[in-house]
Structure 1
Amino acid sequence: MSEGGTEYGHKMTIARSKSIYGPYESNPSNPIMTHMNENAQSNPIQGTGHGDFIQAHDGSWWMVFLGFRPQSLLHHVLGRETFLAPVRWDTNAWPVINGNGTVNIDMNVPTLPLQAVKQHNLDTDFDEAKLGVDWNYLRNPFMRNYSLAEKRGSLRLKTSPVSLDDNDSPTFVGRRQEHVNFSASTALSLNDKKEGDEAGMTIFYTSQAHYDIFLKKSGNGKQKLAIRYRMGVLNQTAYEVEIPSGKIYLKVKGDKDFYSFYYSLDGKEFNFLNKINVWYLSSETNGGFTGVYIGLYAASQSKNSKAYADFDKFMYKPGNSD
């Protein structure tokens, strides 16, 4: 049984009976897993719970369970993740998880024979006939706004009057942030644009919590690059700069404390624009457990917009490298 809430007080307890209908005997050493105790309060994994026992074909036992990794003043943005820990069953005794009911990032235990696994490509070149399972939509997508065929090697997103702030299905496709330290980049051009049209990259938690770096057309007809922060009722345009028309390269870098935003005109030399704390996209600030997406989107203030964005290769790199 999991109890204590899927937060820092989360834990797992266990009871047993010879009959499914009971009566049940509670383990006197409950909880069998928790990080709410003193020796695990600084553990890089927290909120451990919702576990299931698994017996491997070699007879070994394991617990697969959920937890999260705090990163900035006890905030986390990666959502709940899946972890694995060894389980010991002593004769006529209760199960013991990793010796003392706590787990670590690295646990030195016997494992099953190692198997080679094909390296998963974290980059997307948009040459496929359809997007891979890494990419998700918001709610029920309007597929007429998405195309991989109209410009070979690019993802074309057509603007929609549904914005990222709406509880609807904007023209958006995203992949999960999987690492505390990462960089994500893409190249895009916004075509047939008029004032009120925009397209770019978003660091997205919910419709009320997202950071956007995007292209738009200003009132004087020039192309602008802007950064916007949506944090509940706060909706701030933090940065705007006029840039030449044509393709622009965008990059977002994340670390334990900040998201940082960059742009380039040639894809080689990137200019730093702005940064903001990760806190405002965290589960602690917004509730929920699902974690942040890195998304590509296109939107318009007009229902009659004909604008569309072409995104070239999307690159996602874990770690502190560029």
Structure 2
Amino acid sequence: MKHTTLLKSTLAAAALLFSGIDASAQALPAEVEGTATAITANLDGSVTMTVMGMTVNVPTGTPAASPSATLTLAQLADPAPLPNRTQAGFTGGTAIITGTVAANGVVTAEDVFVEPAENVMLGIVTANNAGALSINSVPIVMLNDPRMPAKPVQDVNGIAIIPASIPVGTGASAEGYFANGVFNAFLVEAEQGTPVISTPQVTITRALGRERTPNNRRGDEVEVRGSCTTTHAPTAITQSIIVYRIDGATQTLLGTGTATVDPALPGVANFVFRVTTPPSNDPVLGSCPTTVRVVNTSVGANNASATSAVEVR
């Protein structure tokens, strides 16, 4: 994908040259991924970054994010070290930037993503001291910095669980960065654990969409995967799930599905919902949903619901 973007940029420049237009006078698409060696806040609220020796201007209003948070530009340039790191802020980490590049080689960012490192750990819980976990004998520290906050510890279905309830020997994974002898995690998943909330829950683990045109002749493809707890109905084999598309304040039924109990994970039922939307001339309903909501309508589920953005392709 990235190579395709860069190739298109090169071809665009070549096309301009061959057409007799001075490509050096044009701002061409750019994509940069590499180590950020400097991140500096400017008086006007913008930020200047140095990435692999390149100068990157980040204008005010440019979207910026870490793996677990949307960042203001002040947070992007905040020099306070992230937990257990010695480098200033995100300096020394990886920056992924899309934008444009001028004739002088200076990149102007249109979107910025930063992270200290892309470290992933997969294995088993080797210690649990009142919720302080170790995976593969490496201590896990849950991040509490607003620039990269940790999500609640969860099971593989996305249901928040009590860390102290996770048995030693349970399969687990963590995402974050390794620094100062500990793994600093923004996400930890474990195969076993007691839910934080005892009331019924529903989660969406993935929502995908495929835009198909023309809208008045072809519907769009939607797939929603998720899970729900079944402690409210311990003998039930299935749960009834309703799926809606959300467009602003409007909720439109997409269809119904069934969650089936997972024998390997007591108290959990999983569902996969697939639908092709009806063709439509409507400017909203004729396009692929960007947000979906699922509701468990089974007896005792209290209409537990979850909402998620859709990854549209």
User: TM-score normalized by structure 2?
Assistant: 0.30
More helix by proportion, 1 or 2? 2
Q: Which has the higher contact order (CA 8 A, sep 6+)?
A: 1
